[in-house]
Structure 1
Amino acid sequence: MESDDWRPLPDRVRRVWMINALIQSMAILAGCAVAAVVCRMMDWWQIWQPAIIAIAAAYAVLQLAFQPLQTKYAYAFNRFAIGDREFRIRKGWLFRSSVTVPFNRIQHVDTRQNPVLRRFGLTAVTVHTAVDEHTIDALDDAEAERVVKLITQRVAESKEDL
């Protein structure tokens, strides 16, 4: 944990990402169905309403169809590292980003869980700076507590060095 090696996310995060994508796609499709019913009832059913609803529905279906591939590559490239002087996070599979945040720039660290994360025993950890926030998408609950404690400790040590 205290080395500078890139650490992967727990394997269970793949299922969380798949379930979240399914929920999002179902919500979009439900919204499309409601919009179609309302448009038909209000006699707003011309050319552009069905086109917009069809595009939104197609997006939801395609997003869900490609989610397994997205999940595979997102898992392969999402990593984090906690060094002696900085926190590093790497994300993305098509559009990749890597961020290094010195501990003396971190303002606070928090955790969050949605119902799906909670079901799988995972917690997201977010590191806040004055300008931005950087999130580790999911860690085991106990590991998330250790990471928050370690980062908080390193932040306090780095502020004492100033």
Structure 2
Amino acid sequence: MDYPLLNHQMPPRIQAVWRKSLFTTIGSFLFVEVILFLLATRLGEWSMLVWLSFAAGIVITLMIGVVLYLLIPYRYAFHRYEITEEDVALQKGYFFRTTTYVPLNRIQHIETNQGPFLRREQLMELVIHTAATAHKLSGLDTVQAQALREQLIALVKVAKEDV
């Protein structure tokens, strides 16, 4: 069975944000591993087990980083959304694809977030809150995110009036 893709895709600039975030995460893990190694050697632990665990940690971290970096184009291809008059559909995943439908009458409030990586690429994240959870739509153009937020607020008002 072919999995249907939703209509709207994020701007390609979101891939740069994902790369920067990945480099920051991998760099943080490598930094912690080096600190732990230096602490172990400073305390007099020069055993082969310390060296092997350090090398294994570095290799595993770098392998995971390379795999996640290579999967960014696939992640981008399946990171989509769609807004109808009844719900908001959010789609993600390249191996395990999920589509989440958020009914408009269940939306409590909508936030916009913009961290340093998103700000540099002039992108924004839309966070749709329901009673149970928050659904994130990351990587929208700043102007598009504001317009989408206003559109959703208007649709939510209409949906709640109908109930």
**TM-score if structure 1 supplies the norm length?**
0.90
Report matched runs for 1:1-162 at 5 Å. Answer: 6-46=7-47, 49-162=50-163
- My pick for the range that moved more, 84-93 or 64-73, is 64-73
Aligned residue pairs total: 158
Distance 1:132 1:35, change over 3 A: same
Q: Is 1:18–1:67's contact at 8 Å kept on the other side of the alignment?
A: no
Displacement of 1:85: 1.1
- My pick for the range that moved more, 35-44 or 10-19, is 35-44
Deviations 1:86-106 (A, max 9, x none): 100000101211111110011
Deviations 1:55-110 (A, max 9, x none): 43223211221233210100000100010111000001012111111100111111
Q: Residues of 1 paired with 2:53 and 2:135: CA distance?
A: 34
Question: Gapped runs of 5+ residues in structure 1?
Answer: none
Distance 1:126 1:52, change over 3 A: farther
Measured on the aligned residues, the alpha-carbon RMSD in Å equals: 1.6
Q: Secondary structure at the match of 2:12?
A: coil
- My pick for the range that moved more, 48-57 or 137-146, is 48-57
Distance 1:72 1:43, change over 3 A: same
Q: Is 1:80–1:90's contact at 8 Å kept on the other side of the alignment?
A: yes
Q: Secondary structure at the match of 1:131?
A: coil
Q: Which residue number in structure 1 is paired with residue 3 of structure 2?
A: none
Q: Is 1:28–1:56's contact at 8 Å kept on the other side of the alignment?
A: no
The letter of the residue matching 1:36 is F
Displacement of 1:128: 1.1
**TM-score if structure 2 supplies the norm length?**
0.89
Q: Residues of 1 paired with 2:116 and 2:92: CA distance?
A: 23
Deviations 1:96-151 (A, max 9, x none): 11111110011111111111111000101111111121111210100010111111
Q: Is 2:22–2:69's contact at 8 Å kept on the other side of the alignment?
A: no
Q: Provide the identity percentage.
A: 27
Q: Secondary structure at the match of 2:82?
A: strand
Q: Residues of 1 paired with 2:18 and 2:112: CA distance?
A: 18
